[in-house]
């Protein structure tokens, strides 16, 4: 929002989630974002990430340099730093991060560099040679946007952006912006809780409008507004607004809004909104 080089911001989603994004954007002070909605509601109709990006470019008539950030990224660097790097490079660019584990690297696009140039890119390798991976933060010059259509028309994989980057790197010069600090792919409950732990620095936050009585709150606990926690033990857990946790032990779990957990112990669970579990036992 604060970067004058960014003229427009498109929040791309499908029809299933459009209403939630409309509400969120209406309640913020942001002026640049425009909600751009894919014409899909069902999982079977999805275009895949690359297909959706190509459709966004076509739908919105984008003909300028484009920065793309996946919505499940939590990053510690300022996007302006990445834009600076891209502006200097003048070529397709990606952000790369050392995940510090070859096992983790198997789940991402592996990046091999000479200086800041990407000389090899392998999407989800079985035997990664290093731990430097692409984090789904990209920038494309205006004249390279047509590569999206060329890639798709050739029948290449439309689902994962890493396959497009691998294809692109074999045909164009691609630069890599490397950074230290923190990065989380919050697409799973476990990684979401890792991000919460980093954000809270292991601490605990209880909203002033929440009610917590006769309970023990350990490390990395976030109890949101209008939630109720009674006679419970919570450790590494998030309790969303208007949820109720009573006479329960909740560890490593996410309790969504307007949910009731009573006389029930949970560990490593993700409980969806408007759920009621009151039978007693463990899960």
* Ramachandran category for residue 262: left, alpha or beta (phi over 0 → left; psi -120 to 50 → alpha): beta
Q: What is the predicted pLDDT for the residue at 57?
A: 95
- pLDDT, one tens digit per residue, over 245-281 is 999 999 999 999 999 999 999 999 999 999 999 876 5
Query: What pTM did the predictor assign?
Result: 0.85
Confidence band of 48 (pLDDT split at 50, 70, 90): confident
In the numeric block, the tokens 């607004």 are attached to: 241
The tokens of 21 are what? Answer: 């994004």
Give the DSSP per-residue string, 100-146: S-HHHHTTSEEEEEETTEEEEEEES-SS-SSSEEEEEEEEE-GGGTH
Domain ranges of the chain: 47-185, 190-277
Alpha carbon distance 283, 265 (integer Å): 6
Task: Specify the residue for token string 């010059």.
Answer: 141
At residue 183's C-alpha, the angle toward residues 177 and 186, to 5°, is 130
Looking at the domain covering 47-185, what would its CATH class be?
alpha beta
- The C-alpha atoms of residue 156 and residue 96 are separated, in whole angstroms, by 23
Residue whose structure tokens are 């002033």: 208
> Which residues lie below 8 Å from residue 266, measured CB to CB, with a gap of 6+?
248, 249, 250, 251, 253, 255, 282, 283
Give residue 176's pLDDT band: very low, low, confident or very high (50, 70, 90).
very high
Examine the pLDDT at 216 and tell me if it is beyond 70.
yes
CB < 8 Å & 24+ apart, contacts of 264-271:
268/189, 268/190, 270/189
What does the pLDDT look like over 33-45, one tens digit per residue?
A: 999 998 765 555 5
- The class of domain 190-277 in CATH terms is mainly beta
């Amino acid at each position: 929002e604060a970067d004058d080089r960014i003229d427009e911001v498109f929040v791309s989603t499908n029809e299933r989630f459009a209403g939630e994004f409309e509400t969120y954007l209406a309640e913020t002070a942001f002026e640049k974002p425009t909600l751009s909605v894919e014409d899909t509601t069902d999982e079977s109709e999805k275009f895949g990430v690359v297909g959706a990006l190509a459709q966004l470019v076509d739908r919105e008539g984008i003909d300028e340099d484009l920065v793309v950030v996946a919505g499940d990224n939590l990053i510690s660097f300022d996007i302006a730093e990445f834009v600076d790097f891209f502006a200097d490079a003048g070529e397709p660019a990606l952000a790369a991060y050392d995940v510090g584990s070859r096992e983790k690297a198997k789940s991402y696009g592996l990046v091999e560099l000479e200086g800041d140039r990407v000389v090899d890119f392998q999407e989800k390798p079985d035997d990664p040679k290093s731990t430097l991976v692409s984090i789904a933060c990209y920038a494309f010059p205006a004249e390279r946007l047509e590569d999206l259509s060329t890639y798709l028309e050739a029948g290449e994989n439309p689902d994962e952006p890493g396959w497009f980057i691998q294809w692109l790197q074999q045909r164009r010069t691609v630069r890599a912006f490397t950074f230290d600090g923190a990065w989380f792919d919050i697409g799973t409950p476990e990684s979401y809780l890792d991000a919460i732990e980093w954000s809270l620095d292991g601490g605990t936050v209880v909203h002033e409008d929440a009610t917590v009585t006769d309970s023990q709150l350990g490390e990395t606990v976030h109890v949101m507004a209008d939630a109720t926690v009674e006679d419970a033990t919570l450790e590494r857990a998030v309790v969303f607004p208007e949820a109720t946790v009573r006479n329960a032990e909740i560890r490593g779990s996410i309790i969504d809004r307007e949910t009731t957990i009573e006389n029930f112990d949970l560990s490593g669970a993700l409980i969806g909104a408007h759920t009621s579990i009151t039978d007693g036992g463990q899960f």
